[in-house]
Amino acid sequence: MRVVLVGYMASGKSSVGKLLARELGFQFLDLDEYIEEQQKKSIKTIFSEKGEIFFRKLEHEMLSEVLDKYQDLVLSTGGGTPCYGNNMETILQKSDHSIYLQLSIPALVERIKGEKENRPLVKNIKNEDLPEFIGKHLFERSQYYVEAKHVLECDGKDLETVVSEVKQLL
Ligand code: S3P
The whole-angstrom separation of Cα 80 and Cα 36 is: 16
Q: Give the number of the atom of ligand 1 that is nearest the alpha carbon of residue 13.
A: 15
ipTM above 0.95, yes or no: yes
Find out whether 32 is annotated in a ligand binding site.
Answer: yes
CATH class of this structure's domain 2-163: alpha beta
Q: pTM above 0.95? A: yes
Q: What is the pLDDT of residues 81-134, one digit of tens each?
A: 999 999 999 999 999 999 999 999 999 999 999 899 889 999 999 999 999 999
Hey, which of 5, 9, 30, 100 would you mutate to test ligand 1's pocket, going by the most ligand atoms within 8 Å of its Cβ?
9
Label the pairing between strands 97-102 and 150-153.
parallel
